[in-house]
Amino acid sequence: MLNKEYITNLIPQEKVTQLKTTRYISMHRPRVTEEEQLPKRPAKTMGPAKLPPPCTKHFLKKGSKIPVLPEKKPFKYGDEETRRPPVPSKNDPAPLMGIRSNKNFVTENALENVTAIPKKPNKIYCDTRNGEKHLLEPSGLEPNYIKKQNYGDVPSYLKKREAEIREAQMKYDAYISEHMKQGAMKHLSDEERDNILDGLKKNWEAVHHDYQGMSVVTDTIMKKKVKERLEMMMKQLERDIELIEKHKTIYIAN
């Protein structure tokens, strides 16, 4: 539109000047300027150099890094004095033996092999269809624990525990007998024990019958309380029955 001639372009227009935003200036700028004007201190951050710089006169020359080998000397073992004499060659005469024997080693070896007990073969097992064999003993398929010397013996901790149980039972029996002599305790007979057990079981059956007769839906507070009370009674009766059945001998304190 600006390249073409229009009558509206003849109207003078005001120039729009864009306002520039203020440039950001750091608050630390004066401090940095002051630090830059201070005299420089060498090795301020990294510390002083540990080694002096190399001299320019000692530059690397050609062939200076080739190592100088020591003079060649004949090799010698350090144990020549304690070393055994060398093995005699085939041309050397055989040394004379101190003891000579007329034993026929071939016949003796044959007799030993004939009269020897045959060696038992190792137990093996095959785990593939191609017949790959492995030893049976380290595989864990054979019970090696039965070969132990202490196999079948009662462990020491069980013996100790049995002794402790016997000692505790003896102390308990002595305590009970002493109280029985003093008349402080009474022994419950088998007939009385059976009667108490039958009574507890009948009570449990009665409570269980009442529990089964309740409605399935407990929609009122009264029903919930009755159900909880019956459940508590059944649990208490079950604990009492289990306690009496577990102990055959029962004592009652007077």
pLDDT tens for 182-208 read: 666 677 788 888 888 999 999 999 999
* Phi, psi dihedral angles at 252 (to 5 degrees): -120, 130
Q: In the prediction, which pLDDT does 239 show?
A: 92
Q: Give the list of residues 6+ apart from residue 27 with CB closer than 8 angstroms, or none.
A: none
Contact between residue 201 and residue 238 where contact means Cβ atoms under 8 Å apart: no
Q: In the prediction, which pLDDT does 127 show?
A: 84
- At residue 36, the 3 state secondary structure works out as helix
pLDDT for 2 beyond 60: no
Question: What's the rounded Cα separation, in Å, for the pair 165 and 171?
Answer: 10
C-alpha closest to that of 111 among 103, 119, 100, 120: 103
Identify which has the larger pLDDT, 223 or 254: 223
pLDDT tens for 125-145 read: 888 888 888 888 888 888 888
Identify which has the larger pLDDT, 214 or 40: 214
For residue 97, the 8-state DSSP code is P
- At residue 133, the 3 state secondary structure works out as strand
Alpha helices per DSSP H over the chain: 29-37, 105-115, 156-182, 190-212, 221-246
- At residue 252, the 3 state secondary structure works out as strand
DSSP per residue over 138-180, as a string? GGT-S-GGGGSTTTTPPPHHHHHHHHHHHHHHHHHHHHHHHHH
Domain chopping of the chain, boundaries: 122-153, 154-183, 188-253
Rg of the chain in Å (alpha carbons): 55
